[in-house]
């Protein structure tokens, strides 16, 4: 009795059947079977199976003439025969196994494995059905074919006889009190009959796995699917099949041996399987890879084309031929029969890049794709291969879902027009008294990004910060601290005339000291005000000698006391605690300083005159774009504001922005227009809602290092959309597509595109060393931490550059990897440099340079205007390049046909020669072609020689010291914990534009710290 289930017994009658899946003949590809999308999934491989629990009247009779159909019966033990009043308990033959003489008692059980609400309901209905057939239950029987049994029945000994148990689907069946010899007499027979009936299923699974791993790249999702199915089948056959006395046939034993191998796959085995497939594909498509580009693809380029995991990240260094891989991979997928052109989507960062990719595909893959006439009018420009920007992709998705093409806002290409509208909206809001008060308070307290002097490591850093960020008062005075800024603005608003840094009225200068200047002087009251950077403990910032500083404070107090001049001293700790203006107000009252608070209109007029409102409008325009592009709801925005480094300033800015955002949204809605940011947001929404289903099974993304989170969300949604469709059953697809004819066509197209059963793969090409667009929302962590956002990934590397020589590559690589957060890569150059290829050109005295240039005679100084004459270091460098070019032309091996190109690069455009100056330079240097580009604009381009300008410190130096406003920073990806991380990558981009040599133009004073670092790297 102890071997029986303790649950309430379930009794079966003749009228009772237990429904099981009815399985038909197998069909479909290995991919279909392994992905579970075919109608004959691996869990349903048998055919012609009657439902479990077939009535006893349909069973084969005892004593059938055919030996294969002979029925064997398992008798009860003496106790079973006594208690059951029957001789036999079980019948079995080639068709299956039958449980007979099921009486209403506690010795037959049917247990549900999953005690869910549904299974409980089934069990209750089963019991009720049985109980209603008490009068006719003596001949009840349940029949199971062998395919319905999860594995052969097992026999467990008990004192009253063997207990035979087996499971089918979610149920386990047990029959007690069998004869004491039942296991030895019938156990192997049952196992052999089960093996014979399930052999086909086993062999089909093994065969399909072999076909899958040899016919396609073993993706992570496929591996997971195979592993799950192997585990289930392995549990059905082992360990009982290891019994040598069973004498299983050779085909079954071979299949079981392979199943064991599949079950024991190690990471190394999986790598070997993938490598074998890659090598076979490389050999089979060698001719294609040799000829798809003007030069044969390299080994690593070819491998990147073939490897096709669910998520693929190709880290392609500067000049390593990533575009060739994009074109080659698209062509390979079609040439190998894995895709048709409509299955492929290529995403480029901008219009120019997309156009170049389209033209490259037409040129290189035209014969493979067919004639342009054949595909005229199709959406994909590259003869059906869809090449798109993110914005045009969003537009297509919206058009397909809504049925009409949305009207684009004219501001998407007119930033000045957008800023003009913002300015008008702001001026309109300022007319409201409540908004005007908040607006003026923002300018007085939050417009500038406040930094404490105690946060700087040196006095130079502090001075550079104020200089770079142009910290000015309402009057336009450039101050040295935020304490001074607050004092000056308060005095101005109170209508108190003051002079900033006015010389003291009594002469106190000597040979050791300059004339004393007070921070503020009120001439009408002969009152001096000084502000000191002293904290609550009486200490000055670390970079100031505290004793000397304290002595200077005492000296000023004594000076004013001796000369009977009015004096007020204020301190940083008062400013930090919000008490300084109270102290100042009290002191001015003491000295009877009259106040005439400035009215709002006068203050606003001053802000307009100073250009501060224009600056704010430009800032708000950037914030508006980032805010709409971030696709934030109110909760997400509140979270960002709470995490901002400057919560008060950020919150104050968004308080002003909130009505502007609403007005902007209303303007677009009323005009029936859409901006770029809404394109992406709506496209994501439609995909996630299932209103658009991606027809693309191969999604390829260029310049991935520049991607933002919303764009990453868009391509992830596209990938997962295809995956969802590949898992849907045909009936479900038909039902969900029945809404309208247009939607049915859309779903039918999407379903046909995933007919192979494989979900979409993602192929992203980028280089984290060249991630330079954080200011527009790009997040380099989406590349460096790719798997955290997209899941497991297979990474490949292109490490052979065809652009710059090894000497440039060595310096540039060591420079950018000073940031430990950059992914470690080794970039090799096809051209080996024999001498230094990065030169630092230091400025000389102007008159000497002019003489040197004139003597060399390469530039006609009469052709150059005065501004270029001042840039004699530049002209001298161009002369040196001209000499190099002429020298190369004299060599027998010289083959260059076009004029060598020289790029003049700088962080800011205004540092570079203007168009007129550039024309004069090209006229003076006919042997070379000179172009000007900013660092950002040079991305993706290359030249023979590069001259880098503007390598100074200061307001517009490099690296840039300008601080990102907190309200803007709150909407940008988290900044890296490495000083000037993005500026460092920007310099790497500039360095790697050159093929032969890079020249760094550096002044003797105020030179960029990056120049010093490069000099050290060159020495090493």
CA torsion through residues 100, 103, 104, 109, sign: negative
pLDDT band at 868; cut points 50, 70, 90: low
- Give the DSSP per-residue string, 440-469: HHHHHHTSS----GGG-SSHHHHHHHHHHT
Strands of the 794-798 sheet, one edge to the other: 386-389, 344-348, 698-701, 761-766, 311-316, 794-798
Mean pLDDT of 36-46: 38
Q: What is the pLDDT of residue 368?
A: 84
The pLDDT of 732-738, averaged and rounded, is 44
Q: Which long-range contacts (CB under 8 A, 24 or more apart) does 470-478 make?
A: 470/955, 472/610, 473/500, 474/443, 474/603, 474/606, 474/607, 474/610, 475/500, 475/606, 476/610
Q: Are 952 and 1003 in contact (CB under 8 A)?
A: yes
If we measure between CA atoms, which residue out of 784, 824, 826, 819 comes closest to residue 801? Answer: 826
Q: Which helix (H) or strand (E) holds 641?
A: helix 634-643
Token pair 């037409």 in the structure block, residue: 362
**Which residues does residue 237 pair with via DSSP β-bridges, in sequence order?**
none
Instruction: Read off the tokens for 93.
Output: 């033959």
pLDDT tens by residue, 782-833: 999 999 999 999 999 999 999 999 999 999 999 999 999 999 999 999 999 8
- Residue 858 pLDDT > 70: no
What local confidence, expressed as pLDDT, does residue 105 receive? 43
Of 917, 978, 987, nearest in space to 951 by CA: 987
Question: Helix, strand, or coil here: 388?
Answer: strand
Residue spans of the domains in the chain: they are: 71-103+139-265, 287-369+383-406+678-724+758-801, 832-846+864-1019
HSE, side-chain direction, 13 A CA sphere, residue 483: 26
Residue closest to 736 by CA, chosen among 727, 43, 396:
727
Q: Dihedral (C-alpha) 315, 318, 324, 326: value to the nearest 10 degrees?
A: 40
Taking only the tens place, the pLDDT of each residue in 561-571 is 999 999 999 99
Separation CA 37–CA 150 (nearest Å): 22
386: buried, middle or exposed (CB in 10 Å: 19+, 13-18, 0-12)?
A: buried
Residue 999 is predicted with a pLDDT of: 97
The burial class, CB within 10 Å (0-12 / 13-18 / 19+), for 730 is exposed
Equal fold, 287-369+383-406+678-724+758-801 vs 832-846+864-1019: yes
Question: Any bridge partners for residue 502, and if so which?
Answer: 518
Q: What is the pLDDT of residues 650-670, one digit of tens each?
A: 999 999 999 999 999 999 999
Type and span of the H or E element at 560: helix 546-562
Q: Rounded mean pLDDT of 75-96?
A: 92
pLDDT value, residue 507: 87
Average pLDDT estimate for 31-38? 43
The pLDDT, as a whole number, for residue 59 is 36
Report whether CATH 3.40.50.300 matches the domain 832-846+864-1019: yes
Query: 321 a known binding residue?
Result: yes
Q: Is the pLDDT of residue 863 over 90?
A: no
CA distance 616 to 724: 46
Residue 359 has pLDDT above 50, yes or no: yes
Q: Map tokens 């908040």 to a residue.
A: 438
pLDDT band at 512 (very low <50, low <70, confident <90, very high): low
Which residues share a beta bridge with 143? 98
- The separation between CA 735 and the C-alpha centre of its own chain, rounded to angstroms, equals 34
Q: Distance between CA atoms of 437 and 674, rounded to whole angstroms? A: 33
| pLDDT score for 61 | 35
Do the annotations mark residue 110 as ligand-binding? no
Phi-psi region of 569 (alpha: psi -120 to 50; beta: other; left: phi over 0): beta
Mean pLDDT of 977-999: 96
Does residue 582 have a known ligand-binding role? Answer: no
H helix runs in 802-935, sequence order? 806-816, 846-856, 866-869, 872-889, 915-924
320 among annotated binding-site residues: yes
Report CA-CA distances (Å) from 971 to 350, 427, 893.
Answer: 22, 25, 55
Confirm if 722 and 661 have CB atoms less than 8 A apart. Answer: no
**The pLDDT value given to residue 369:** 80
pLDDT above 70 for 299: yes
SS (H, E, C) 500-512: EEEECCCCCCCCC
The SS3 assignment for 981 reads helix
Instruction: State the DSSP H helix or E strand holding residue 929, giving kind and residue range, or none if neither.
Output: strand 929-934
CA torsion sign, 595 to 599 to 602 to 608? positive
pLDDT at 748 over 80: no
Average pLDDT over residues 860-873: 52
Q: Which residue has the tokens 């001498």?
A: 835
- Residue 898: band (very low, low, confident or very high) from pLDDT cuts 50, 70, 90: confident
What is the reported pLDDT for 115? 36
Task: Calculate helix-pair angle for 415-430, 433-445, nearest 10 degrees.
Answer: 110
pLDDT above 50 (res 642): yes
> What pLDDT is recorded for position 963?
83
Is 328 annotated in a binding site? The answer is: no
Pull the structure tokens for residue 516: 């004393």
Per DSSP, the three-state class of 491 is helix
Average of per-residue pLDDT across 351-363 = 92
Average pLDDT over residues 628-647: 84
The share of the chain scoring above pLDDT 90, in percent, equals 67
Predicted confidence (pLDDT) at residue 20 exceeds the cutoff of 60: no
pLDDT (mean) for 346-369: 91
Tell me the pLDDT band of 367, cut-offs 50, 70 and 90: confident
Confidence of residue 894 (pLDDT cuts 50, 70, 90): low
The answer to the question of whether 831 is labelled as a binding residue is no
In the predicted model, is pLDDT for residue 848 greater than 80? no
Give me the pLDDT at residue 378, please.
Answer: 38
Our measurement of the distance from residue 710's CA atom to the centroid of its chain's CA atoms, rounded to an integer in Å, reads 9
Q: Is the pLDDT of residue 596 over 80?
A: yes
Longest dimension (CA), the chain: 135
More confident site: 885 or 890: 885
> What is residue 58's predicted lDDT score, i.e. its pLDDT?
33
What's the pLDDT score for residue 644?
84
**Residue 32 confidence class, pLDDT cut points 50, 70, 90:** very low
Where are the extended beta strands (E) located within 957-1005? 994-1002
Give the burial class of 917: count Cβ atoms within 10 A of its Cβ; 0-12 exposed, 13-18 middle, 19 or more buried. Answer: middle
Cα–Cα distance measured from residue 383 to residue 437, given in angstroms and rounded to the nearest whole number: 60
Determine the pLDDT at residue 749: 40
Q: Coil, strand or helix: which one is 408?
A: strand
> Which range among 28-37, 515-524, 589-598, 621-630 shows the weakest confidence by mean pLDDT?
28-37
> Was 316 annotated as part of a binding site?
yes
The two tokens of residue 719 are: 């990938």
Percent of the chain at pLDDT exceeding 70: 81
For tokens 């009247």, the residue is 57
| For residue 407, pLDDT beyond 80 | yes
Whether domain 287-369+383-406+678-724+758-801 has CATH 3.40.50.300: the reply is yes
CA distance from start to end of the chain: 85
Mean pLDDT confidence for 685-690: 95
Going by pLDDT thresholds of 50, 70 and 90, the confidence category of residue 887 is: confident
Q: What is the average pLDDT score of the chain?
A: 83
Q: 951 pLDDT exceeds 90?
A: yes
Of 341-350, 619-628, 787-796, 838-847, least confident by mean pLDDT is 838-847
Q: Tens digit of pLDDT for each residue in 536-556? A: 999 999 999 999 999 999 999
Report whether pLDDT(68) > 70. no
Which pTM value belongs to this model? 0.81
Lowest-confidence segment of 131-140, 411-420, 690-699 by average pLDDT: 131-140
The residues pairing with 75 across neighbouring beta strands, listed in sequence order, are 88
Q: Over 80: is that where the pLDDT of 21 sits?
A: no
Q: Worst-scoring range by mean pLDDT, 63-77, 470-484, 522-536, 905-919?
A: 63-77
605 annotated ligand binder: no
pLDDT of amino acid 101: 63
d(C-alpha 709, C-alpha 974), whole Å: 12
Token match 């609550």: residue?
Answer: 536
Q: Write down the pLDDT at residue 633.
A: 81
């Amino acid at each position: 009795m102890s071997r029986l289930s303790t649950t309430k017994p379930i009794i079966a009658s003749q009228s009772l059947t237990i429904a099981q899946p009815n399985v038909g003949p197998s069909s479909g590809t290995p991919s279909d079977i392994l992905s579970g999308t075919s109608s004959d999934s691996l869990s349903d491989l048998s055919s012609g199976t009657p439902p479990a629990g077939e009535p006893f009247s349909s069973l084969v009779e005892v004593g059938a003439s055919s030996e294969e159909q002979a029925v064997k019966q398992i008798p009860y033990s003496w106790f079973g025969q006594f208690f059951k009043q029957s001789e036999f308990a079980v019948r079995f033959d080639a068709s299956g196994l039958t449980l007979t003489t099921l009486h209403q008692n506690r010795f037959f059980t049917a247990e549900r494995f999953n005690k869910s609400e549904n299974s409980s309901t089934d069990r209750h209905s089963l019991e009720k059905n049985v109980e209603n057939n008490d009068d006719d239950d003596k001949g009840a029987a349940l029949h199971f074919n062998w395919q319905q049994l999860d594995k052969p029945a097992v026999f467990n000994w008990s004192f009253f006889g063997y207990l035979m148990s087996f499971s089918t689907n979610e149920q386990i069946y047990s029959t007690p009190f069998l004869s004491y010899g039942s296991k030895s007499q019938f156990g192997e027979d049952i196992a052999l009959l089960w093996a014979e009936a399930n052999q086909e299923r086993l062999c089909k699974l093994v065969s399909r796995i072999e076909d899958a791993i040899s016919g396609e790249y073993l993706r992570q999702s496929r591996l997971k699917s195979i592993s799950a199915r192997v585990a289930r089948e392995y549990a059905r056959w082992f360990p009982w099949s290891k019994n040598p006395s069973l004498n299983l046939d050779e085909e079954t034993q071979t299949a079981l041996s392979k199943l064991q191998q599949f079950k024991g796959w190690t990471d190394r085995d999986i790598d070997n399987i993938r490598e074998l497939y890659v090598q076979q594909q490389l050999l089979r498509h060698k001719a294609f890879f040799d000829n798809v580009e003007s030069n044969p693809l390299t080994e690593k380029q070819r491998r990147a084309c073939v490897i096709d995991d669910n998520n693929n990240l190709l880290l392609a260094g500067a000049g390593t031929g990533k575009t060739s891989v994009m074109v080659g991979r698209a062509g390979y997928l079609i040439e190998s029969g894995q895709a048709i052109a409509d299955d492929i989507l290529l995403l480029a960062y901008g219009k120019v890049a997309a156009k170049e990719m389209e033209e490259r595909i037409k040129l290189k893959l035209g014969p493979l794709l067919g004639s342009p006439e054949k595909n005229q009018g199709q959406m994909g420009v590259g003869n059906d291969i869809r090449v798109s920007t993110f914005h045009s992709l969003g537009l297509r998705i919206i058009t397909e879902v809504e049925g009409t093409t949305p009207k684009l806002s004219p501001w998407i290409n007119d930033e000045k027009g957008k800023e003009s509208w913002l300015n008008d909206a702001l001026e309109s809001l300022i007319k409201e008294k409540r908004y005007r008060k908040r607006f003026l308070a923002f300018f007085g307290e939050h417009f500038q990004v406040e930094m404490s002097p105690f946060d700087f490591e040196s006095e130079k850093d502090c001075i550079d910060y104020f200089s770079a960020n142009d910290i000015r008062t309402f009057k336009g005075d450039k101050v040295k601290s935020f304490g001074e800024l607050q004092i000056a603005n308060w005095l101005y608003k109170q209508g108190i005339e003051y002079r900033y840094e006015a010389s003291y009225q009594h002469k106190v200068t000597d040979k050791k000291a300059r004339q004393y200047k007070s921070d503020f002087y009120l001439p009408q009251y002969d009152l001096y005000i000084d502000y000191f950077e002293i904290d609550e403990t009486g200490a000055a910032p670390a970079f100031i000698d505290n004793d000397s500083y304290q002595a200077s404070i005492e000296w000023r107090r004594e000076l004013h006391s001796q000369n009977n001049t009015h004096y007020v001293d204020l301190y940083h700790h008062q400013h930090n605690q919000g008490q300084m203006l109270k102290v100042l107000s009290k002191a001015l009252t003491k000295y009877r300083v009259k106040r005439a608070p400035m009215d709002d209109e006068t203050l606003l007029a001053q802000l307009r005159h100073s250009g501060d409102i224009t600056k704010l409008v430009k800032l708000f325009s950037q914030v508006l774009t980032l805010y709409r592009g971030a696709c934030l709801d109110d909760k997400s925005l509140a979270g960002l504001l709470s995490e901002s480094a400057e919560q008060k300033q950020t919150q104050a800015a968004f308080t002003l922005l909130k009505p502007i955002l609403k007005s902007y949204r209303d303007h677009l809605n009323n005009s029936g227009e859409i901006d770029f940011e809404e394109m992406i947001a709506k496209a994501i929404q439609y995909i996630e809602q299932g209103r658009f289903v991606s027809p693309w099974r191969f999604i390829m993304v260029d310049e991935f290092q520049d991607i933002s989170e919303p764009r990453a969300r868009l391509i992830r949604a596209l990938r997962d959309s295809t995956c969802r469709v590949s898992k849907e059953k045909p009936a479900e697809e038909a039902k969900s597509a029945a809404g309208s004819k247009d939607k049915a066509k859309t779903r039918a197209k999407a379903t046909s595109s995933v007919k192979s059963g494989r979900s979409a793969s993602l192929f992203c090409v980028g280089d984290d060393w060249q991630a330079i667009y954080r200011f527009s929302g790009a997040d380099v962590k989406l590349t460096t931490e790719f798997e955290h956002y997209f899941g497991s990934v297979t990474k490949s590397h292109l490490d052979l550059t065809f652009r710059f020589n090894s000497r440039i590559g060595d310096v540039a690589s060591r420079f950018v990897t000073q940031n430990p957060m950059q992914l470690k890569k080794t970039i090799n150059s096809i051209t080996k440099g024999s001498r230094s290829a990065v030169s630092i050109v230091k400025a000389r005295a102007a008159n000497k340079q002019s003489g040197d240039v004139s003597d060399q005679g390469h530039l006609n100084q009469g052709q150059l205007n005065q501004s270029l004459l001042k840039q004699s270091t530049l002209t001298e460098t161009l002369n040196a390049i001209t000499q190099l070019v002429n020298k190369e032309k004299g060599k027998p091996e010289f083959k260059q046909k076009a004029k060598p190109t020289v790029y003049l690069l700088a962080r800011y455009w205004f540092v570079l020669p203007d168009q007129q100056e550039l024309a004069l330079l090209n006229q003076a240097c006919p042997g070379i072609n000179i172009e000007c580009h900013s660092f950002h604009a040079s991305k993706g381009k290359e030249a023979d020689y590069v001259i880098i300008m503007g390598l100074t410190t200061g307001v517009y130096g490099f690296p840039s010291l300008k601080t990102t406003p907190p309200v803007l920073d709150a909407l940008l990806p988290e900044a890296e914990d490495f000083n000037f991380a993005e500026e460092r990558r920007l310099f790497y981009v500039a360095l790697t534009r050159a093929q032969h040599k890079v020249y760094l133009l550096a002044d003797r004073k105020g030179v960029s710290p990056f120049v010093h670092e490069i000099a050290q790297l060159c020495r090493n």
